[in-house]
Amino acid sequence: MSAAPMQQAYEQYGGQYGGQQQHLQPERSLSRQLSQVSLDGSAQPHARKKKDRHAYHQMDTPVTSPGGQYMNGQIGGQPQPGSTPGPGTPSAAPWQQQQTPTQPWQSQSPAQGMNQPLPQAGTPISMNAGGGPQQGQFGGGGQGRVNPDHIPSVPLSRDQPADYYRTQMYPTMEQRVPPPATTPLIAYDQGNASPKHARLTMNCIPSSQEQLAATALPLGLVLQPLAKQSEGEQAIPVLDFGETGPPRCKRCRAYVNPFMIFSNGGNKMNCNLCGHPGEIQPDYFAPTDPSGVRVDRAQRPELLLGTCEFLVPKEYWSKEPVALRYLFLIDVSAEACNRGFVQGVCDGILAALYGDDVDEEETNGEEESDGETEIKPSKVPAGAKVGFMTFDREIHFYNVSPSQPAPQQLVMSDLEDPFAAISAEYLFVDAAESKNNITSLMKSIPEMFFNIKHAEPALLPSLQAALSALEASGGKIICSLGSLPTYGPGKLQVRDKGQTQGDDDHNRKLLKTEHPGFGKMQADLVKAGVGVDFFLAAPSGGYLDIATIGYVAEKTGGETYYFPNWTYPRDLLRLAKELSHTVQRDQGYAALMKVRCSNGLQVSHYSGNFTQHTFGADLELASVTEDSGMCVTFTYDGKLDTKTDTYFQSALLYTTTSGQRRVRCTNVVAHVNESARESMKMIDQDAVVGIMAKESAAKVHDRSLKDVRQHLQEKSIDILAGYRKHFSGSHPPGQLVLPENLKEFAMYMLGLIKSRALKGGHEPSDRRIYEVRLLKGMGAAELSLYLYPRIIALHSLEPEQGFADENGHLKIPHGVRASFSQIEEGGAYLVDNGQILLLWLHAQVSPNLLEDLFGEGCDDLQKIDPNLSALPVLDTLLNAQVRNILLSMEEGRGSKGLAIQLARQGLDGAEFEFARLLYEDRNGEASSYVDWLVMLHRGVGTELSGQRSKESGDGVGHTITNTISGITGYMSSS
């Protein structure tokens, strides 16, 4: 990017994120900067309406409440770190003096006071493609072109909050809109759940359905109940209330939380969700002080924190909870053996169980202390046990009990009525105690079955046998598969012959599960509390029928890991990392989940990977992990009271890996306002995108992909048109006006339309349905990267980047926009979409850079090992920088292992994937970012003029694309 466009881009985002403008242009006033980028607008700022009262707490005054109650009636007077008394109110913090809707990193300038007027809502972008630039336009170029450097940038919207929260804590009650989901932050739980666990589309909710309809936005929650805590965050407390269980509302069954009110001297607990006053159990009673606060509140985490866990008594049990049992089910058929997949799985299992300490016990095991051999702990969660099975045309069980001198195999050939040939007592063992036998077994399996080579695996009978072993206890099946299971009961046939394209009915059938055996299998697994994770390697890129096989993982809450082009040894590192993550991550099994909301709202729909038998029933998840995401939308069944707030609570009942039955409660609170105007200032973009993505993925089975894409386009136009019509004020007709908190929304929608899950054109059905299920089960951060990848330039790293600063925080370079116009000649780039990590190297990359990165002698692209999956450890500055950056990227990643895949220009097939991930460019049937914005602008214009016909929107889109083809000329000039 040239200096001028970069300057202009920072001007745009300098208004959103503090400090950049003053650094770049110290002599220019704020008002002049705003006039240059058309952020000042002509509409007057809308004054915020002050509420009459908050029934349960003050969100606008999160530390102290001059009017009375904070959570549970707490009177203020306990300031948080960083608060200082202000004039007029002895204990008032600065944010209590004045109100401002901006984020901490969004101040217009460092010197801006708290009493500045609210900025004009919305970001106008000139879309005057038919004539010259208009006065005050947001970066219109000459000759009717839209300058791509002047439209909202996803990388900049991520980088500035990430820089801010590298040194700041996130207080969950003080910020009205959380930062982007990709932001690494340390949350300070003040009673409202961390955005890692729950994100609400609107943190200020309109009081009526009519007001919500004016925005065209969904009202919903994006949830990730077991999301991983960051280092430095308070551990989620686990509370035990004994045989009585946690206090709950007698009417709606909500769990006690920070927003419940205690009255009648502490004898009654008023539910914040349904309003019912219930009697307090004697063992939970505590008196209240004159202001209505329980005297023991400071010692009650459930009354202070937005997220906590409760141990539950026996009436919450469906069966006796035991520590998690992992059952590894390994395909040892000919295809898996020949292509090294069995070898990779066995090596990966050893890495998952023991890390790098696989052989140490064999060499040092004779060293004794006090006459006993020291047993080193495994990487498996404490208390959990492991078992092993293999299958081809037969099913093999293994007894690796430490009492056995060597692993013992039992073979079962009966595929019609399979059962567990070994009792659970001997099948499941402690990984540390049986290390020698397990290591011996994993090393012998590849060689043993390489000489047998049964060509056809029998998957369904093997799953039935595995279920019989886990039926009494519940647990987790981790199954590998290297070819289409074409033998025995439940055998599958090649349905996708690759001869059809488009969105016809035949292709839609390929995305559905039609085999009744697998449908019954998933129902039995869910009933028993047994989840399934699949590791699938396509046979030479061939067909696996993931629509049918992956259905079992989807409905049990499990996960599918797919290697469409498995290559040995290139993919070994990724497979080992994903197996390790699957075993070692925070997870549970036999789970039930329910979301409750305040009076006036009701649950409308859930989306995600789970089983729900009837509308309104609890969600059933045989497996739930720290990576599991789902969403829930709400509708109105009355009008909300603007004098109180609205509350949401998700409750996840599950059994932990250590065998405890717990409920994880996540509580979220939002304002209520009479008008939707305030709601538009408090939109969480990631939550909106998450709900639209998951609900679109859920429609793939019932509607054509063309209809799904069209619906996304129409919904995007509805949202932007609603904002322009009702909330944005006066703007010239040549401008597309984007809500301030939805500036990147259009780009994320384009990324969704371009994703493998929904894109037009031919896509193998296995790959498409795999990515559809990915969308449904992703958390917010993983989804954000999936829809717009992170791209980092390695050839232009500053010397301090990739190393810790004076505060110990790693300095990460800012991202590059996903457009080839931003790719420099001779450059080297990391491209990460959360699923795959590409290292793209330009054909004219510097030989010195290659040697610094890969080692001496690698001064040419063709000298680099094409199977390279990790950087060697060298003493060079660049090598250390990039390895540190990769470690940082891996920490914020979801469930997919981080392993490098080379994409050398003109040499590697992965270069096609690199081109596909440049989402801002035109590719295939999908338009570029600029074309997409122009199309949305035309749609908004026709909607406002009353001429829009949604049924013919697709044709309009094609017409617009044809008329603005000249706009894309910028690519050659950038």
d(CA 95, CA 62) in angstroms, rounded, equals 9
Output the six-digit token pair for 245: 């269980």
Residue 948: its pLDDT value, please? 82
In this model, does residue 691 exceed pLDDT 80?
Answer: yes
d(CA 128, CA 78) in angstroms, rounded, equals 54
pLDDT tens per residue across span 417-450: 999 999 999 999 999 999 999 999 999 999 999 8
In this model, does residue 500 exceed pLDDT 80?
Answer: no
Lookup result for tokens 């007029």? 88
d(CA 230, CA 187) in angstroms, rounded, equals 8
Report the DSSP pairing between strands 646-656 and 661-673: antiparallel
In three-state secondary structure terms, 64 is coil
866-890: average pLDDT: 96
In this model, does residue 30 exceed pLDDT 70?
Answer: no
Kindly compute the dihedral angle of the four CA atoms of residues 241, 247, 250, 256, in this order, to the nearest 10 degrees. Answer: -150
Confidence of residue 834 (pLDDT cuts 50, 70, 90): very high
pLDDT tens per residue across span 641-676: 999 999 999 999 999 999 999 999 999 999 999 999
Higher pLDDT, 363 or 284: 284
Residue 120: its pLDDT value, please? 43
In three-state secondary structure terms, 791 is strand
Q: Which residues pair with 668 in a beta bridge?
A: 648
Amino acid at 118: L
Q: In this structure, what DSSP letter does residue 375 have?
A: P
Residue 532: its pLDDT value, please? 98
Q: In this structure, what DSSP letter does residue 233 have?
A: S
Residue 729: its pLDDT value, please? 80
With beta carbons less than 8 A apart as the criterion, state whether 733 and 725 touch: no
Confidence of residue 38 (pLDDT cuts 50, 70, 90): very low
Residue 117: its pLDDT value, please? 36
Please give the distance of CA 775 from its chain centroid, rounded to a whole number: 9
Higher pLDDT, 504 or 54: 504
d(CA 251, CA 95) in angstroms, rounded, equals 37
Mean predicted lDDT score pLDDT of the chain: 84
Q: Where are the domains of the chain?
A: 1-40, 332-364+375-584, 789-916
857-875: average pLDDT: 95
Among 3-7, 12-16, 567-571, 866-870, where is mean pLDDT lowest?
A: 12-16
Lookup result for tokens 């009701």? 602
Residue 373: its pLDDT value, please? 58
Closest CA to 573 of 889, 871, 791: 871
pLDDT tens per residue across span 936-965: 999 999 999 888 876 444 433 343 333 333
Residue 72: its pLDDT value, please? 54
Confidence of residue 145 (pLDDT cuts 50, 70, 90): low
496-505: average pLDDT: 66
Confidence of residue 105 (pLDDT cuts 50, 70, 90): low
Residue 848: its pLDDT value, please? 96
With beta carbons less than 8 A apart as the criterion, state whether 652 and 624 touch: yes
Tell me the CATH number for domain 332-364+375-584: 3.40.50.410
In this model, does residue 214 exceed pLDDT 70?
Answer: yes
String of DSSP letters for 574-624? HHHHHHHHHHHS-EEEEEEEEEEE-TTEEEEEEEESSB-SSTTSPEEEEEE
In this model, does residue 530 exceed pLDDT 60?
Answer: yes
Q: Which of 11-20, 29-38, 693-702, 728-737 has the highest mean predicted lDDT (pLDDT)? A: 693-702
Lookup result for tokens 């998840």? 621
Residue 962: its pLDDT value, please? 35
| First-to-last C-alpha distance (Å) of the chain | 7
Residue 499: its pLDDT value, please? 63
Residue 877: its pLDDT value, please? 96
Higher pLDDT, 926 or 61: 926
Higher pLDDT, 545 or 115: 545
Residue 109: its pLDDT value, please? 34
In this model, does residue 22 exceed pLDDT 90?
Answer: no
d(CA 602, CA 545) in angstroms, rounded, equals 38
d(CA 848, CA 860) in angstroms, rounded, equals 9
d(CA 862, CA 852) in angstroms, rounded, equals 16
266-286: average pLDDT: 93
Report the DSSP pairing between strands 186-188 and 169-171: parallel
Architecture in CATH for domain 789-916: 3-Layer(aba) Sandwich (3.40)
Confidence of residue 923 (pLDDT cuts 50, 70, 90): confident
In this model, does residue 54 exceed pLDDT 50?
Answer: no
d(CA 758, CA 708) in angstroms, rounded, equals 8
Among 350-364, 629-643, 899-913, where is mean pLDDT lowest?
A: 350-364
Task: Provide, rounded to the nearest whole percent, the portion of the chain with pLDDT above 90.
Answer: 71
Residue 51: its pLDDT value, please? 36
Closest CA to 919 of 909, 908, 930: 930
String of DSSP letters for 334-364? HHHHHTTHHHHHHHHHHHHHHTT-SSHHHHH
826-837: average pLDDT: 97
Question: Who's near 728: CB < 8 A, 6+ residues apart?
Answer: 41, 43, 121, 122, 737, 739
d(CA 543, CA 561) in angstroms, rounded, equals 15
In this model, does residue 102 exceed pLDDT 80?
Answer: no
Q: In this structure, what DSSP letter does residue 686 have?
A: H
Task: Provide, rounded to the nearest whole percent, the portion of the chain with pLDDT above 70.
Answer: 81
Residue 159: its pLDDT value, please? 96
Lookup result for tokens 């011996």? 440
Amino acid at 146: V
Question: Who's near 88: CB < 8 A, 6+ residues apart?
Answer: none
Q: What CA–CA distances, in Å, run from 312 to 76, 104, 343, 353, 948?
A: 33, 40, 43, 30, 55
Closest CA to 266 of 286, 246, 283: 286
Q: What is the largest CA-CA distance in the chain?
A: 90
The dihedral built from the CA positions of residue 106, 108, 113 and 114, taken in this order, carries a sign that is negative
In this model, does residue 406 exceed pLDDT 80?
Answer: yes
- The model's pTM is 0.86
Residue 876: its pLDDT value, please? 96
Closest CA to 106 of 6, 194, 179, 25: 179
